[in-house]
Amino acid sequence: MDTELARTFLTVAATGNFVAAASRLHVTQSTVSARIQTLETTLGARLFQRGRNGAELTASGKRFLRHAKHLVRTVEQALHDVGLPQGFHDVLTLSGRIALWEGFLPHWVAWMREAAPDVSLRLEIGFEADIMQGLIEGTTDIGVMYTPTSRPGLVVEPLFDENLMLVTSDLARGWPEEGYIHIDWGPEFHAQFSDHFPDAPPPTVVANIGWLGVQQLLTYGGSGYFPQRLVRQLIEDGRLWRVPDSPQFKLTAWMVFPREGSATLKSALDGLRTLARDEQARL
């Protein structure tokens, strides 16, 4: 079977509609429809129920999902295994939000090098949509993110809770203030922020990565909400200050992984759980 058909099927399953799948695959909607029709003809079964709300997997589609993921994963694994360095017996791919690569996931890499030195690691930075896509396609083994979505065959497990705190480069600026940078930490953060600050003016600067916001604050001044573990040292060094009497918001970090996995995957997950407990204890 053409793996491109399987990838298209997985993309439609991940996005929930043909239009979004076409955009992500950089093809036309008619191309996506033609590929799915070819796949359905080949399998002799209808894979999606089309409707106003998008495309939902049929019972046959749900059964094929596992096989499609295995097919794509097998091809990816074959391509990677050919180039595995001598002495390595397995490969594992982890993709995570950039904020979680700061101060947390690098510790996991060190843990894996100690616990499984014969496993080759592929490390990636991504946003939720792309990470979930990789998990569904089987090209990503573990995703670490803030706002996961539930998908068949995947486990969504909480790792630890971030404490988002409002910090400023200058206490004299007060708050609200024009230099506030709104970081897109996801819908849960937006809801909490709106509840506590219903009268706050629209932000003039919005960033989708916390690192960008921190650099802006350190270079040009301002304020913003960031995970405590990211700004802890900057506060201790006197480069940033917490805004007095400002509320803290909770943001959960999650890991997402296939329900059925190898011994390598299970070991990697145990490492993340161990480090998450340590991280939670520090907060």
Residue 84: what pLDDT? 63
161-251 belongs to CATH 3.30.420.40: no
| Fold annotation for 74-158+252-282 | D-Maltodextrin-Binding Protein; domain 2 (3.40.190)
Whole-number Å distance between alpha carbons of 219 and 169: 9
Residue burial 155-175, b: 16+ Cβ < 10 Å; e: rest: eeeebbebebbbbbbeeebeb
| Cβ atoms within 10 Å, residue 69 | 23
CATH 1.10.10.10 segments of the chain: 3-72
Give the CATH architecture of domain 3-72.
Answer: Orthogonal Bundle (1.10)
- Measured in degrees and rounded to the nearest 5, phi and psi for residue 75 equal -65, -45
Residue 85: what pLDDT? 64
Residues in a beta bridge with 180:
223
End-to-end, the C-alpha distance of the chain in Å comes to 50
**What does pLDDT average to in each consecutive run of 10 residues of the chain (283 residues)?**
85 89 90 92 91 87 86 72 68 93 94 93 91 86 93 93 95 89 91 91 89 93 94 94 95 94 93 94 76
Amino acid at 76: E
Tokens of 238: 């006197």
Choose among 223, 226, 215: nearest CA to 184: 226
Segments in 53-173 forming alpha helices (H): 59-82, 98-101, 105-115, 128-137
CATH 3.40.190.10 segments of the chain: 74-158+252-282, 161-251
The answer to whether the beta carbons of residues 96 and 125 sit under 8 Å apart is yes
Burial class (CB in 10 A: 0-12, 13-18, 19+), 237: exposed
Report the chain's C-alpha Rg in angstroms.
22
**Which residues, in sequence order, are CB contacts of 155 under 8 Å at separation 6+?**
256, 257, 258, 259
State CA 53 to chain mean position distance: 24
Residue 202: what pLDDT? 85
Put residue 87 in one of left, alpha, beta given phi > 0 → left and psi -120 to 50 → alpha. left
Contacts 24+ apart (CB under 8 A), 42-46: 42/1, 42/5
Residue burial 5-14, b: 16+ Cβ < 10 Å; e: rest: bbbbbbbbbb
What Å distances lie between residue 205 and 126, 182, 185, CA to CA?
A: 22, 6, 14
